[in-house]
Amino acid sequence: MESLSCLVLKPSPPTRLFFPPRIPQMALPGSTFGFPPSMDYQLPITTAKLALKPIRASTSTVPTTPSTTSTVASSPTAASTKKALVPIGFGTEEMEAVILVDVLRRAGAEVTVASVEPQLEVHASGGTKLVADTRISTCSDRVFDLVALPGGMPGSAQLRDCEILKKITSKQAEEKRLYGGISTAPAVTLLPWGLLKRKRTTCHPAFFDRLPTFWAVKSNIQVSGELTTSQGPGTSFLFALALVEQLFGESVAREIGELLFMHSADDKPRKEEFNKVDWAVSHTPRVLVPVANGSEEIEIVTIVDILRRAKVDVVVASVEKSVKILASQGVKIIADKLIGDAAGSIYDLIILPQGGVAGTGQLQKSRILKKLLKEQDAAGRMLGAVCSSPTVLHKHGLLKEKKATAHPSAITELSNPVDGPKVVIDGKLITSMGLATVSDFALAIVSKFFGHARARSVAEGLVFEYPRS
């Protein structure tokens, strides 16, 4: 039996961060990437822009379910795979962990998700259940090119109190290999370990006052030698891409950014609404998110995390025979229940995340889900879909005369497509291009249910740029 030297704390309810001090926004410079390898570099405080870009398919070095969006950029370093460690614990912020793992794997990195808990299954800060690849004890003698810590509370404290992880990360810093942390991790985990000494650092605004004043930097991304830090869930894509660039080079980072619909010069509208109707309900909104093997983990986790932050009652239901889902980039997620068990309830909104070739097929083939969707439409309740999943609604005859958007590979299949906005709302239907645009998608839902002020406060907790009006 393996011996664990991590201090196991009695679980307490995860702490969610909602109202940090607002930091002024600035525009990105002309080049999104291009970090000098051995000197400080910071990206100003802004949020990555998202753009519609042609997708170049390529071969993945990670075994995944085929997907229109799970391609991994080819790279000259493919022959010598870079190895990355992403540790998770009770209360880890799921958006930060999953986006980091997803983006690194797309770039061709061999990513190990390691639990610092006695068990592999970890309850993240927003209630998402993630399953690690291994326990941290199996990683103590391995050499990694990168150790990257997601934030979240009490997740960062759980990481901090794990002696094995402390030794791994300290050795990483001593041997001048890449390491980093996002959100609460720099202040709560890396600082007590003494790994921020003489390093310019950023972190979540709510924890900024814990950093040494002289070395604290208010920026989305701060690269200081081997250390990279970032502010929160809303900057997770920038954090992951900064690490991709340092591992694989600027061209790979730029390609992955395009695959994710991120671009500094993007001027696409955030959303466009047609046939405006009121979505407000007199009770806590109830939302169903059906998932399948091959579903896109970024989309599942981002939508669920943001809606739960807004106090929406979200149920994640598997259309497979098991609640255990293997997502498109190999992240293992445990749904709340099976679709058959979820079918007995009424939902104000049903959202279909992207499912790739296999996943979307499973969503489309599910007879229970088809019945739910048709009943939802007949009752005049809300429907949503992202990436390629609007085609599922289309094939079930639920997009009649409705304007919608979708992933570029799927938008031509729609009868009334809108090409341009990240999010399109038509009456009680909401659709999105997917991937990095799902933050806007989820916040648009929050705005429709609760109003703009609630959406903006959630966005501030994410450190995600959102319009004041």
Strand-pair partners of 135: 115
The answer to whether 330 touches 294, Cβ cutoff 8 Å, is no
- For the question of residue 387 being annotated catalytic, the response is yes
Residue among 143, 79, 87, 78 at smallest CA distance from 108: 78
Q: Return d(Cα 438, Cα 102) in angstroms, integer.
A: 15
Burial class (CB in 10 A: 0-12, 13-18, 19+), 453: exposed
Maximum C-alpha span of the chain? 62
Residue type, 332: K
Q: Return d(Cα 446, Cα 309) in angstroms, integer.
A: 10
Q: In angstroms, what CA-CA distances link 439 with 50, 384, 457, 466?
A: 11, 14, 14, 10
Query: Which of 6, 162, 203, 387 is flagged as catalytic?
Result: 387
Q: In angstroms, what CA-CA distances link 145 with 22, 48, 101, 151?
A: 34, 25, 14, 20
Within 10 angstroms of residue 334's Cβ, the number of other Cβ atoms is 17
Sheet holding 382-386, edge to edge: 271-274, 423-426, 429-432, 382-386, 349-352, 286-291, 313-318, 337-338
Radius of gyration for the alpha carbons in the chain, expressed in angstroms and rounded:
21
The answer to whether 354 touches 408, Cβ cutoff 8 Å, is no
Q: Return d(Cα 441, Cα 423) in angstroms, integer.
A: 6
Using omega within 30 degrees of 0 as the cis cutoff, is the peptide bond preceding 154 cis?
yes
Catalytic residues, by residue number, are 387
